[in-house]
A and B are shown apart, each in its own frame.
Chain A
Amino acid sequence: MRFMIMVRANATSEAGEMPEDDTVFAAMATYHEELAKAGVLLDATGLQPSSKGWRIRYSGGKSTVIDGPFAETKELIAGYTLIQVRSREEAMEWARRFPAPFGASADGEIEVRQLYEMDDFPPSESIERFRELEVEKQRGAPR
């Protein structure tokens, strides 16, 4: 099962600045090395400030593009780490070892969410319809 550990943004990350505490990077590097050594690390990356991103809002059948930055800083994501583990408790144990994201003395928050697996979706009529189309396409293809 896969879990995503998300680091919540703060004013520093939203300003695109590096944390004042320069031990943060060393702690992050060590932690991710440990994940890799244990064979559980799938992916990890930091996200640029929301000022470089945008949102698209869907409402009443219309969509509107809204440029960043966005004000509600603590609702934003500054980075994520994707792990594959054997149990929810193992994910909890790895999350517990995650270093304070903005330094030991700075406030910070991480959030952990489990990913859906393909098997979590029951076979649906629309997927079956799609599959039949695929098969026909292949049958009709020149060999």
Chain B
Amino acid sequence: MRALKSAAIPGETHRAIEAVWRIESAKVIAHVARIVRDVGLAEELAQDALVAALEHWPKAGVPDNPGAWLMATAKNRALDRLRQEALHARKHEELGRELDALESHVVPDFVDGLDAARADDIGDDLLRLVFTACHPVLSTEARVALTLRLIGGLATDEIARAFLVPEATIAQRIVRAKRTLRQAHVPFEVPQADARAERLASVLEVIYLIFNEGYSATAGDDWMRPALCDEALRLGRVLEGLMPNESEVHGLVALMEIQASRTHARIDGAGRPVLLLEQDRSRWDPLLIRRGLAALARSAALGGARGRYALQAALAACHARARSAEDTDWAQIVALYDVLAQVSPSPVVELNRAVAVGMAFGPAAALEIVDALCAEPSLANYHWLPSVRGDLLAKLGRTDEARVEFERAAAMTRNTRERELLLARAAEMGQRA
């Protein structure tokens, strides 16, 4: 993308080429990576094709099929590269045959575009690229950066702005990630059999991390941060097309669609967060809710109702279906948390289950669950625990104990607004006592 900035071409053409690049770059990189078997090199060669486009298009006009043009140009560069290497290594016979085979694959006519069979190939290549960018040999941070760069088509400075870090940090992270993949000889392939589930989990985790990074953005943040939500959703939808039989892919998309539907209700006019049950539901996006429920149904049809993401999506769907907070089907939410606690047990899930039990069956039943969690070391600094306990005690009329819990929670939270609310509740308890 550096090439785009330095090029002295009219803004309109520049932006048009940038748009084409965003649409096509992942496919081009993926296809070239299959030829050269190196993701880093593939990106360089794809960038070369972009530079060639920047030279030719402003003069000759954007071609009718710009994607096929970029693809063919990048492929030719890749073949040139392999040919040079072959000459260099003087392994003429074997590599020569391989090159002939590769060359028969190249589209001779740019305008012809891609036939159906080749489009399928590109889908496979794209999937290989996704799995490679999210390979466990890389740190989570590196997976996120590489995914946004290679599949999202985001420029380094855009990723840096979104994650509130210097551009040099992201640039270095990407360079290192590519080197790690090369040195570890990570094969450019879609994992099969045993490794597949685990590797898919890593891909889904990366996408959900990107989504949550955007979702946690606050008012006044650079617009690139909330744009991460859109990008994660787009990646999820792309993955649905590439892996239509994976129920958890649909589960994750369902979860993101429904969460994204609340974007405009989550923050009030003054930029303060609004809790789910207090949100103005008329501001929820019905189109995204409908899409989320449809994705959830696809996941369930594939037998994925007990998947981690599908369960969280089903929980989100309970709220999405309720016309008002009072209409919430808490018994259903408790039932879903019961399953989630089996599938993916954690103290945080248990605490959320307690809240749902409190809403469905009253504070006494919930308090039993919460009391059992008080000895949990991983929740020792989690302000939500005393805050929930305080709320339950208050509902049971045990105001002195409730006040202590609210004060404890207020001392734990780092969020000023939250502390104010908790201290206000503590004070309220004092008045009643």
Q: A residues touching B (Cβ–Cβ < 8 Å)?
A: 36-43, 82, 84, 86-87, 89-90, 92-94, 118-119, 123, 128, 130-131, 134-135, 138, 141-143
Contacts and interface: CB of A to CB of B under 8 A. Distances in A.
Contacts of A41: 237
A38 B19 CA distance: 13
B430 interface: no
Contacts of B146: none
Given A89-B16, A89-B18, A90-B23, A39 B233 contact: yes
A36 B241 contact: yes
* B-side interface mostly: helix
Given A84-B230, A138-B278, 10 more contacts: A37-B242, A39-B233, A39-B238, A84-B234, A86-B230, A87-B19, A119-B264, A128-B269, A138-B326, A141-B325
Contacts of B326: 138, 141-142
B23 A93 contact: yes
B419 interface: no
A32 to B, nearest CB: 12
Nearest to B227: A86
Interface string B5-26: 0000000000110111011000
Nearest to B291: A42
6 contacts: A87-B18, A87-B19, A89-B16, A130-B280, A134-B280, A141-B326
B1 to A, nearest CB: 13
Contacts of A143: 395
Interface of B: 15-16, 18-20, 22-23, 66, 123, 227, 230-231, 233-238, 241-242, 263-264, 268-269, 277-278, 280, 283, 287, 291, 325-326, 395
A101 B326 CA distance: 47
A90 B230 contact: no
Given A38-B238, A119-B264, A138 B230 contact: no
Contact of B234 (A40, A118, A128, A142): A40
A126 to B, nearest CB: 12
A82 B290 CA distance: 14
B19 A90 contact: yes
A131 B280 contact: yes
A83 to B, nearest CB: 11
Contact of B237 (A39, A130, A134, A141): A39
A58 to B, nearest CB: 23
Contact of B16 (A84, A93, A118): A93
B346 to A, nearest CB: 27
B123 A39 contact: no
A142 B324 CA distance: 13
Contacts of B325: 138, 141
B23 A38 contact: yes
B238 to A, nearest CB: 4
Contacts of A138: 277-278, 325-326
A93 B237 contact: no
Listed residue (A37, A93, A131) with the most chain B CB atoms within 10 angstroms of its CB: A93
B302 to A, nearest CB: 18
